[in-house]
Chains A and B, each alone.
Chain A
Amino acid sequence: MDSVELCGPAVPDFSTHPGLAAGVAVLQLAASRYLALSEQEKELNQRLRSLYPAVSDQETPLPRSWSPKDKFSYIGLSQNNLRVHYKGHGKTPKDAASVRATHSIPAACGVYYFEVKIISKGRDGYMGIGLSAQGVNMNRLPGWDKHSYGYHGDDGHSFCSSGTGQPYGPTFTTGDVIGCCVNLINNTCFYTKNGHSLGIAFTDLPPNLYPTVGLQTPGEVVDANFGQHPFVFDIEDYMREWRTKIQAQIDCFPIGEREGEWQAMIQKMVASYLVHHSYCATAEAFAKSTDQAVHEELASIKNRQKIQKLVLSGRMGEAIETTQQLYPSLLERNSDLLFMLKVRQFIEMVNGTDSEVRCLGGRSPKSQDSYPGSPRLFNSPVHKASNVITDHLCFPLFPGFDSNYCNGVSSSKGHTSAHSHKSCPPTIPSPEPGVLNGSRGQQTNVSAEVEMEVDHFSNGVSESSSNGFLNGSSTHGIDLEECDADMEVDSAQSKRQLCGGSQAAIERMIQFGRELQSMSEHLRRERGKNSANKKMLKDAFSLLAYSDPWNSPVGYQLDSIQREPVCSTLNSAILETHNLPKQPPLALAVGQAAQCLSLMARTGSGSCAFASVDDYLH
């Protein structure tokens, strides 16, 4: 699209000059071709996404074309590496040549499919369509060697890692469309001809196979369709059958044998979840009606609720103070946690929400971007779940898997491995760093809109209408694309100012920053380097480098949504001191399920494709 816009204005200039008319035509042609290409690319992306939603394109990219690097020299590629033609002598089978796709077939596809159209059968039509593992000799047709499988056009035979074929299907020739479907659940493969399934060709297929075609005589030309165009065969229908099968398997999975055991367990999970997030009244009522004991005193739950409220409304100073009062030794023992809280406090100071700067600014405590009164974790369950998954799961189960994809804040003490900022479990539509940085408006809108209504309701006063940020985001809440540009204008007009606009507050903030700096140095001396802490501080301080921190690349930190992981980490730490699980079993189970699916994807169990956790979270 970009290049078209560039070409657009150029056209009238050129066309006034007769000598350049041809050049214009070429340019226009190039533009339209580019347009067509990007259209095709768009269609490809769309189709691949809808066919293989469980595949993470970063971890396991899908095949999109033939590989110019992974082919025998007698193979020529054209048309964006989708067309294959033979350019050898084609005298003997020794002149056979193959090409593999750019990537192997990810197991998370569940069912994978591609089609090949025979453009020309050439001299003898010795064409093979199939699969092969990396490293299999390319001077051969697919199917002749170990870990290589093919269906050949001249005799219709299937070749299963052997030089001699088995009678399989009809022959194929110019004009036919041959499809190859790999079922990664039962590791079988079948072919289609012109939209008709020919039946199972191979069983017990190994993992990580590449789509492969082989040609052997001059004039043979074939085109691949990896999803660039609609398929002739109705692969979606086949996938529907397998999705239903897998889901039936899940639905029929035998649960606890003894009567009531299953129900009791679920009730326990719900109760513990309510308690964990300090829903005192609900938890109490639920425990009563299901006849369960609550493993924490009501007072304790209320204390946690109070602290969470403070964190979520941005009043970090008070939150830290209250924590220290109620749980005297907690923060002393856990200096990384304290540091994280203080960094957040600093951010809230910049934001103008922290209690300390508020007093100085002389504003009413709720006037600026206030987070709703009670813990709002439940209004954004997806976020919550994702936090929990990474916080908890990664550490006990998969130490290598990093937790801070969420927001770059390492949420647990000691385990600071901030190396994979980008890793993101495939099934969780939670904020990826890119999304957070790029379109902050979008992220905030979701929560802000929901919270706002509640706020109005509970207060009965529309104080928050004075808040420029919220106004801006809610007016443009729906049109996300335009939102970015418009919001900047809006927020510039509004009175969103550093530390709420008070000079005293700014001074206090700077002083606090210095304290934070020295705390960081102190920590480093005592406990050695901590890259997560360092980055956290650096990011927070970066806010001051911009005249309008809210619209800066690091501005995402100011979003109220960023309070959630902090709140959750603090809550978990408190619970741990009471020997209670730092994550509720419910979230743990959800996280485990999601992690299990990604583990299945990595170990080649295709059924993970049809068992998304989200399908079961209504």
Chain B
Amino acid sequence: MMACLLEAPLRISVLSEVTATSRHYVDRLFDPDPQNVLQGVIDMKNAVIGNNRQKANLIVLGAVPRLLYLLQQSSSSLELRTECAVVLGSLAMGTENNIKSLVDCHIIPALLQGLLCSDLIFIEACLRCLRTVFISPVTPVQLLYTDPTVIPHLMSLLSLSQHTQEYITQIFAHCCKTPEHQTVLFNHGAIQNIAPLLISPSYKVRMQALKCFSVLAYENAQVSMTLVNVLVDGEQLSQVFVRMMQRDKPIEMQLTAAKCLTYMCRAGAIRTDDNCIVLKTLPCLVRMCSKERLLEERVEGAETLAYLMEPDIELQRIASVTDHLVSMLADYFKYPSSVSAITDIKRLDHDLKHAHELRQAAFKLYASLGSNDEDIRKKITETENMMDRIVSGLSESSIKVRLAAVRCLHSLSRSVQQLRTSFHDHAVWKPLMKLLQNAPDEVLVMASSTLCNLLLEFSPSKEPILESGVIELLCSLTQSDSPALRVNGIWALMNMAFQADQKVKVEIVQALGTEQLFRLLSDPDTNVLMKTLGLLRNLLSTRPHTDMSSHGKQIMQAVTLILEGEHSIEVKEQTLCILANIADGNTAKELIMTNDDMLQKIKYYMGHSNVKLQLAATFCISNLIWNEEDGSQERQDKLREMGFVDILHKLTQASDPNLCDRAKKAMQQYLA
């Protein structure tokens, strides 16, 4: 404290001194003699280089508006305008606050205006400054697109010099963030204009051009399809990218080229079994995951690789045996390492900063690797401490890690084997349930989807999950605005109801409520509807549960509603199956038998053109006329009167063997 007190006055004096000199620089900008102004700007340029405090001072003292004024004045000499642009570029190199101040002073339109000048040196200075401003995260990307003449003008400047090429491509690479941006750039000929730059003699230009293509092609089929047909100096673009992935090329270039090919492949422009993917891109990305690479590169490599092979089992199989990828990824969890904590603070800081990113990237890649192949899933769960890592990942503070961990868990939960063993051993349901209590939608979607699998009948986790009060939670999911969450909620309930005991079923029905059930049955999402019907079916299946005294009427209403509505064959089939289940119940039968309208519908579907519907309807009738049950005689008589026997008789001649068989069995009930 003492030292601070003593030092304070000294600091103030130094600061005031600095401010005084800074003021002097600003004052000179207002000198009436243009020659003095020019010299002032040049001196200012030399004073600010590498001096962040000086930059901040000048900005505070209002140098920026004056510099911009001088830059825009047509009366200013070209030399002065150029020097102004250079100083502004230098100011932009400082802190993020500097950039904010510059943007607030409307530097962007001023500089873009400057690009209309014919002097190359001036244009380059403006572009350099624009580049620095645009690559900052604090600059709104949209500012590049507000004036529709800007992009075509920038395209036309690409031919001027290596510098314009470097700056413009760098701006594009940073400012292309949405499909709309991609379309704007694409429509203004970005591909034709930038492709030749891939073989520029300047490494920087090549690199920035490559980055442009990676952002342009990302999830963009139009761009990707165009790219595959582009020739650069007589060579296919994909081959140019392959050359850029050679192992003696800088890592940055290899990685970005691999991204381009990955995006083109995912957009459907390159087949997944193309050699440039299988033998070049995939191994290159695996190499990016190796311990020798920088942490950032390892993150990007793993994420890109995960994205590349997500939809393709063959790529997943190849990657799983390439360079020990599965165990290589285990290393991603070892940051910060115990060594870095002891040895130096800087390294620890660096490691800490990347630790989350590394973990989430590894989870993503594991998720992608294990999404289809049982052997790979086994290999992953057998990796050192893998399940523990997922479990702790589920409760990490970083949302990105939690999401990736649950994705990984979801991917592994597709394995019957794993559900029965490692999932149960590590009680993964506990953190999963916790995660479901309070999480953003994207996490919820994954977590609930995983829960669906954990609730499958053969899963040993099903019991403890039930006991943890999951039903309420799932019912609340069915009320979500997100269709994906509604599907998962109802899906989980459906799985839960499968072969469940009466107690659980009653609980589900009570928790869900008939109102919600009807709402789900009229859900615009077919998936939701199907799963709800599935739930109903599961609730009604097995005889003792079918007689649902309390909601019989409502269910019948629902069934009528759907059979009358415009629905797909699958939905109607499922509904008829429910009806068949009802027809199997002792008391529930009467709900159908007393409903002539419903019987007419069944009749209609028995004569439907779709075999599946015919079969389901026949099932229903067959259940109603089944001999050994009370009142079967009356039902048989009634249905005969309604003409069902004739229909059944006809169906015994059906070409479909199942239908024919079912009709014959039904006929036998009459004969017996």
Contacts and interface: CB of A to CB of B under 8 A. Distances in A.
Interface of A: 169-170, 190, 193, 195-200, 234, 237-238, 240-241, 243-244
B671 interface: no
A507 to B, nearest CB: 66
B246 interface: yes
A106 B324 CA distance: 28
Nearest to A234: B279
A190 B322 CA distance: 11
Contact of B323 (A170, A195, A197): A197
Nearest to B280: A234
B235 interface: no
Nearest to B328: A199
Contact of B321 (A190, A198, A238): A198
28 contacts: A169-B321, A170-B321, A190-B323, A195-B279, A196-B279, A196-B283, A196-B321, A196-B322, A197-B283, A198-B321, A198-B322, A198-B323, A198-B324, A199-B322, A199-B323, A199-B324, A199-B328, A200-B324, A234-B279, A237-B246, A237-B247, A238-B247, A240-B246, A240-B247, A241-B247, A241-B248, A244-B247, A244-B248
Given A238-B247, A241-B248, A244-B248, A196 B318 contact: yes
A190 B290 CA distance: 15
Contacts of B246: 237, 240
A243 B321 contact: no
Contacts, number: 34
- For the residues of A in contact with B, the DSSP-based class is mixed
Residue of A199, A200, A234, A241 with most chain B CB atoms under a 10 A cut-off? A199
A243 B247 CA distance: 10
A176 to B, nearest CB: 12
Interface of B: 246-248, 279, 283, 318, 321-324, 328
A237 B246 CA distance: 6
Interface centre among B248, B283, B328 (most CB of A within 10 A): B248
B321 to A, nearest CB: 5
A604 B552 CA distance: 86
Contacts of B283: 196-197
A96 to B, nearest CB: 25
B305 to A, nearest CB: 14
A35 B536 CA distance: 78
B362 to A, nearest CB: 17
Contacts of B247: 237-238, 240-241, 244
Nearest to A241: B247
Nearest to A169: B321
A604 to B, nearest CB: 24
Contacts of A193: 321
Nearest to A232: B279
A197 B248 contact: no
Nearest to A190: B323
A196 B324 CA distance: 11
Contacts of B324: 198-200
B232 to A, nearest CB: 21
Nearest to B317: A170
A404 B283 CA distance: 50
Contacts of A169: 321
Contacts of B279: 195-196, 234
Nearest to B279: A195
Contacts of B322: 196-199
Contacts of A190: 323
A312 B318 CA distance: 66
Nearest to B247: A241
* Most B Cβ at <10 Å: residue of A190, A196, A198, A200: A196
B242 to A, nearest CB: 10
B378 to A, nearest CB: 12
A197 B325 CA distance: 11
B650 to A, nearest CB: 55
Given A196-B321, A197-B323, 4 more contacts: A196-B283, A199-B324, A241-B248, A243-B248
Contacts of A197: 283, 322-323
A237 B244 CA distance: 12
A240 B323 contact: no
A407 B318 CA distance: 56
A338 to B, nearest CB: 54
B330 to A, nearest CB: 13
Contacts of A196: 279, 283, 318, 321-322
Contacts of A243: 248
A200 B323 CA distance: 7
A240 B324 CA distance: 22
B517 to A, nearest CB: 50
Nearest to A245: B248
Contacts of A200: 324
B572 to A, nearest CB: 47
Contacts of B328: 199
A199 to B, nearest CB: 4
Nearest to A200: B324
B247 to A, nearest CB: 4
A240 B248 contact: yes
B653 to A, nearest CB: 51
Nearest to A243: B248
A168 to B, nearest CB: 9
Contacts of A244: 247-248
A63 to B, nearest CB: 25
A240 B284 CA distance: 14
Contacts of B248: 240-241, 243-244
A240 B243 CA distance: 12
A244 B251 CA distance: 12
3 closest Cβ pairs, A-B complex: A241-B247, A199-B324, A240-B248
A238 B248 CA distance: 8
Contacts of A241: 247-248
A243 B246 CA distance: 12
A238 B247 CA distance: 7
Contacts of B321: 169-170, 193, 196, 198
Contacts of B318: 196
A234 B243 CA distance: 13
A166 B328 CA distance: 16
- Between A170, A237, A243, A244, the greatest number of chain B beta carbons within 10 A of the residue's beta carbon is seen for A237
Nearest to A244: B248
Contacts of A238: 247
Nearest to A195: B279
